[in-house]
A and B are shown apart, each in its own frame.
Chain A
């Protein structure tokens, strides 16, 4: 079974981002970039499936500018076998991304696609579900545990209020939640080896997919600032203020 893991290059999770001066987007110049944390968890899970003998090959892919190849090399260093880069400088919406992933899935005859549940920049939480719909495949989103037996996939999902377990026939789509695993660190020898692993570059035009324009971002603004609060010196003062000033208890 081949596993495909789409990964996204995003601003590092620890960076505090700022809106640019003309309120059109986030100022990403010179910011530290990284693999989206949820995609990293997806890569780790695919590599574990290969180590357990359930997967024969782990293919990683990314759609984006040339620099996305850095994140693909990282994924290769973490244990993926080869990478596919779809080069585009356009900022694609999840539906377009899902169509391209589906095109790769068909071309590569992939049975299982594991994605992150959301990217921490656009916070959409859509791509995996859309991919499942386009390929008429079952989906298990927000996965915290994946078990493979024969060609059945048992997935435990994090839902509001607790956990839910599903059984899915393949081909299927799974999106990874934070709890799925603890991603490994890439060791130096693996980083060196990753440089020699195959990385194929394609463009959206190489696929028979029509991408439409779906939305326009009219402006990007900073959220309302909270006015500075006060420090209280004792629990008594805190209770007094909550009762008489804020009137919330």
Chain B
């Protein structure tokens, strides 16, 4: 039986998450098809065709799919599900929105945030904010799962998959009003190799400027703790943690972040963790490879100077 991967894209381009979910599909083993649902999404489709190990790219292109609404997307996925034993999507806000709806339409349960494949029906996923790992065997005939993309390496773009156009269309149920996305020149949090994150100790949004400079100098992305987001220092979509983004960059620099369980859940799989904090008792030092007990307003400018 085959594996279906729901593509993550913004119509204009395919997200790297898709290449990582395809890697999870390869770990399961079987023919992998990618489903692109969107509108005027030709570029995303051709990128999907190039993903290594992909057999076919199925495309549903219509105006009704333009905003990736869960109701429409889930109906399309469910329509093509008959031919597949595994249905995978990234554990992004889109994947989390759509896939449980698909699972329920197929009357199966879902496995969320899979981080490892044990066999074609057994997978590992974190529970309790990553405080434990559960090895779960699915008893359902179809395995519907979201994949934590930080746990898989993206496949190469050297393939040439066959293109299949789907023609069925679904009726819209929800009206899309508007979207306001944070515009940033920096790499996306999920794909950055370096992340500089700030917490409550930053004090205000102006002070985040020095972290932005540090992120830019390192070619990295900016992140934040819940405290910094709640205080309005930075937008919500920069939140790293159990309920924000889960990241695993090569280098994670936590500045003025105490290291609550919920924050650690989002970054403790980073390769190298650096903590800068003036409180020597802060729990962040227990997971940091390099800890510096210092006032961030002295240490960060110094760091900028030395880099």
Q: Given A13-B262, A220-B127: A235 and B177 within 8 A (CB)?
A: no
- B180 at the A interface (CB under 8 A): yes
C-alpha spacing A220/B295, complex, angstroms: 40
Q: CB-defined interface of B137-170 with A at 8 Å, one 1/0 digit per residue?
A: 1111000000000000000000000000000000
Q: Given A95-B103, A223-B130, A238-B303: A232 and B290 within 8 A (CB)?
A: yes
- B110 at the A interface (CB under 8 A): yes
Residue in A132, A215, A220, A248 whose beta carbon sits within 8 Å of that of B111 in the complex? A215
Residue in B110, B113, B182, B226 whose beta carbon sits within 8 Å of that of A162 in the complex? B182
Contacting pair A217 B136 (CB below 8 A): yes
CB nearest to B306 among chain A residues: A239
- A67 at the B interface (CB under 8 A): no
Do most interface residues of chain B lie in helix, strand or loop, or is the interface mixed? mixed
- A149 at the B interface (CB under 8 A): no
- B242 at the A interface (CB under 8 A): yes
Contacting pair A236 B306 (CB below 8 A): yes
C-alpha spacing A163/B181, complex, angstroms: 6
Which residues of B from 212 to 237 have beta carbons under 8 Å from A? 218, 226, 230, 235-237
CB distance from B287 to the nearest CB of A (A): 5
- Of the candidate stretches A47-55, A56-64, A70-78, A123-131, the one touching chain B is A123-131
Residue in B137, B243, B272 whose beta carbon sits within 8 Å of that of A178 in the complex? B243
- Of the candidate stretches B30-38, B53-61, B69-77, B80-88, the one touching chain A is B69-77
Q: CB-defined interface of A129-149 with B at 8 Å, one 1/0 digit per residue?
A: 111111000111110100000
Residues of A within 8 A of B132 (CB): 17, 19, 26, 220-223
Do most interface residues of chain A lie in helix, strand or loop, or is the interface mixed? mixed
C-alpha spacing A34/B67, complex, angstroms: 37
Residues of B within 8 A of A191 (CB): none
Residues of A within 8 A of B245 (CB): 160
Contacting pair A98 B179 (CB below 8 A): no
Contacting pair A235 B136 (CB below 8 A): no
C-alpha spacing A238/B93, complex, angstroms: 35
**Centre residue among B109, B236, B245 by max chain A CB count within 10 A:** B109
Residues of B within 8 A of A217 (CB): 134-137
- Of the candidate stretches A81-89, A104-112, A165-173, A199-207, the one touching chain B is A165-173
Contacting pair B181 A162 (CB below 8 A): yes
| Tally of contact residues, B, Cβ under 8 A | 87
Contacting pair B237 A248 (CB below 8 A): no
Q: Which residues of A contact B (CB under 8 A)?
A: 11, 13-14, 16-19, 26, 93-96, 98, 117-118, 120-134, 138-142, 144, 154, 157-169, 177-179, 213-223, 226, 228-232, 234-236, 238-239, 241-242, 246, 248-249
A/B interface sample: 17 pairs, CB < 8 A: A14-B261, A124-B100, A126-B100, A130-B110, A160-B94, A162-B181, A166-B176, A167-B174, A214-B139, A217-B136, A223-B133, A226-B273, A230-B291, A241-B290, A242-B274, A246-B251, A249-B251
The 6 closest A-B pairs by CB, nearest first: A129-B100, A133-B104, A162-B181, A130-B104, A214-B109, A126-B100
Known pairs A231-B292, A246-B251; list 10 more (Cβ under 8 Å): A95-B109, A127-B100, A138-B71, A144-B236, A154-B177, A160-B93, A162-B235, A164-B180, A166-B177, A218-B122
